[in-house]
Amino acid sequence: MPLCPRCEHQVKPTDLVCSRCRLQLKAHGHPSIELHQTSTGEILCKTCAYDADDTCTFPQRPHAQTCTLYQSITAEAEREKGQVRSPVSPPPSLGLIWQRYRVWIILLAIFGISLLITVF
């Protein structure tokens, strides 16, 4: 069972908040959207693979202390070296896709609506 990053109380993988210290464990009230954070309040971006490869577009970068997409550089490097077998990852949730690509989704929707208005 996972531990709460603040008080180290055992929590269920689906808990939205820690039952002891009420720390938020999941984002957007959804049990499948992990909210990554450190117990000491360190900046996550310093050790994040998305910061290292400059692909992160989150506004909280480079000062994020909590993040739903945090990916440890060391875990990424070990996976590339084949030291850690990648688990079969579940398909990304709609919430995650929306969070990561919302600007492009909105722009695409505006473009599509404009195109429809122009054609009809």
What SS3 state is found at 104? helix
Name which position in 6, 17, 38, 58 contacts ligand SF4 (CB under 6 A): 58
Which C-beta is closer to ligand SF4: that of 60 or that of 114? 60
The full 3-state SS of 21-68, as one line of letters, equals CCCECECCCCCCCECEECCCCCCCHHHEHHHHCCCCCCCCCCCCCEEC
Which C-beta is closer to Zn ion: that of 20 or that of 63? 20
Per CB under 5 A, residues contacting Zn ion are 4, 6-7, 9, 18, 20-21, 23
Positions touching ligand SF4 (CB under 6 A) are 44-45, 48, 50-51, 56, 58, 60-61, 64, 67, 69-70
